[in-house]
Structure 1
Amino acid sequence: MFGAFRATPISQGGLLWKTPWKLSVTRKANVRSRLKKVDAVIEAVRASGVQCHALERALELPKEHEMLAKDKYTVYTPHAVGYRKGIHKVPKWTRITQRTNPKGF
């Protein structure tokens, strides 16, 4: 078949999404950096004297240095074997908070 929808080796059944099964050292460092930047923004808003419901919820979240490595780099999922999967497997994982996980998992 020719044209825009021609068969390629990838579309014929190869590994299409090459997502690594674990985070690299660089990506882990980026996660820690991102968490620290969020902590700095929350602290700056708190110091400015603003009062709102979202700030109260944000202050209840653990800071980056208080989180376990398990909570920084993995998220709870009922479908995985150990009830955890890598944070990079979550859609839009840089945009939503993953700081709260069920206790014990």
Structure 2
Amino acid sequence: MFGPFRSTLAACGGYLWKKAPRLSPPQKYRLRQRMKLVDRNIEVLYQSLKLTGQDLTGYKKIDYLKFDFPKESEMEPRDKYSTFNRKAKDYRRSLHLEPKWTKRSFRVNPKYF
């Protein structure tokens, strides 16, 4: 049952998934470009839906994104490249370890963090 050929990595614990310990500079650059694109899209939506002579659009989500959602230029690098994780040592986890990290927004941290 346990021969000399059974001591492979798959037999010793399943698949071996490797993740880089940190984001590479090209990954960081593409992340910043995606965040800037989102900021531009929010601005376009806000300008197109803004009522004449008023600061609000009447749409809660658009107003929230425009006024309360942090912009890429306003964020600290710590918040750009990591996210909250209650199981991690410093309650931070590198962003690229999160599932679907290129498709979701991680700009808002939990309250009091």
TM-score normalised by length of structure 1:
0.82
Equivalences for 1:71-82 in 2 at 5 Å?
Answer: 71-82=79-90
Give 1:103 deviation, angstroms.
Answer: 6.1
Give 1:57 deviation, angstroms.
Answer: 2.2
1:45 counterpart letter in structure 2: L
Who is 1:12 aligned against? Answer: 11
Give 1:62 deviation, angstroms.
Answer: 0.8
2:65 counterpart letter in structure 1: A
Q: Which runs of 5+ in 1 are unaligned?
A: 1-6
Cα 1:103–1:71 change in 2 (3 A) is farther
Partner Cα distance (2:23, 2:11) in 1: 28
Moved more, 95-104 or 24-33: 95-104
**Residue deviations 1:43-96 (CA, integer Å, cap 9, x gap):** 010111253222122121111000000000000111000110100111111222
Give 1:11 deviation, angstroms.
Answer: 2.3
Who is 1:23 aligned against? Answer: 23
Partner Cα distance (2:70, 2:80) in 1: 11
Equivalences for 1:13-92 in 2 at 5 Å?
Answer: 13=12, 16-49=16-49, 51=57, 52-59=59-66, 60-92=68-100
Runs of 4+ in 1 over 2 A off after TM superposition: 9-15, 102-105
Partner Cα distance (1:13, 1:25) in 2: 34
Partner Cα distance (1:97, 1:25) in 2: 19
Partner Cα distance (2:49, 2:40) in 1: 15
Root mean square deviation, CA, Å: 2.2
TM-score normalised by length of structure 2:
0.76
Partner Cα distance (2:111, 2:45) in 1: 28
Q: Which runs of 5+ in 2 are unaligned?
A: 1-5, 51-56
Three-state SS of the structure 1 residue aligned to 2:104 is coil
